[in-house]
Amino acid sequence: MLKTPTIVLNVKTYTEATGNKALDIAMLMDEISKETGASMAIAVQATDISLCANKVSIPVWAEHIDPIKPGSHTGWTLAEAVKNAGAVGTLINHSEHRLKLADVDICITRAKELDLDHIICSNNVATSKAIAAFSPNFIAVEPPELIGGDISVTTADPDIVSGSVEAVKNVDKKVKVLCGAGVKNGKDVSKAIELGADGVLLASGIVKAKDKELVIRDLAAGL
């Protein structure tokens, strides 16, 4: 399981992080992680998992798995396939890829069966608490209205972070909690940890940055 505190990057389907550009970011994070000892992971598109996993030491994750077993599921994302390509973890139920409640359960079960590390995304304290009932490795709370924005969740809505940590720990102490949305710098990271989180999940803060190295180093310094 991902060492905490940690920084997890989700590169989504941004042009700036497709194919070799995803690899460039992964290599940069790998280098900085080695140098600083900061725990970092990168979730990339299914097409780019093997490309990245073959070249870097930091954990490479999938952005999604579907609630399926091997079989007749044309075009869906199979847990075995992402693992086989080199992923060691996966995001589940991201706000851009929401799942039905029963399917969140199935995806978590599938991840555990295959020993894939996993972060389940939630949107508020109540859904964080609900997800805790499944005892996943990680829950990442991200208010959808702040995703991609300029203000960090840790500033805009600190209570959702501390409230999720408290609600989740009350259900299952072993579940770790990340927070995300608007996270952009080391101060946001240290504030997240101060609020009780075990790290951050972010995307555009790194992917859309002009100087990615500068941003990653700053984030790492916040751990």
Enumerate binding residues for its own copies (CB under 8 A).
10, 12-15, 18-19, 45-51, 62-64, 68, 70-78, 80-82, 84-85, 91, 93-105, 122-124, 126-127, 129-134, 147-148, 167, 171, 203-204
Show the tokens assigned to 104.
Answer: 């969140």
Residue number, 63 or 188, with CB nearest to its own copies: 63
Enclosing H/E stretch for 20: helix 20-36
Question: Residue 75's CB: how many other CB atoms inside 10 A?
Answer: 5
- 113 catalytic? Reply is no
CA distance 189 to 131: 23
Among the listed residues 63, 64, 118, 142, the single catalytic one is: 142
Q: Which is nearer to its own copies, 119 or 192 (CB)?
A: 119
CB of 127 to its own copies, least distance (A): 5
Give the active site residue among 63, 64, 94, 118. Answer: 94
CB of 72 to its own copies, least distance (A): 5
Q: What angle do CA 174, 31, 148 make, to 5 degrees?
A: 65
Phi/psi at 113 (5° precision): -55, -40
Of 49, 120, 124, nearest in space to 88 by CA: 49
7 or 130, CB closer to its own copies? 130
Is residue 53 within 8 Å of 85, Cβ to Cβ?
yes
CA atoms within 13 A on the CB side of 13: 5
- Nearest approach in angstroms of CB 113 to its own copies is 14
- d(Cα 128, Cα 19) in Å, to the nearest integer? 33
Closer to its own copies at the Cβ: 2 or 92? Answer: 92
CB of 210 to its own copies, least distance (A): 18
Known catalytic membership, residue 142: yes
Kindly list the catalytic residues. 94, 142
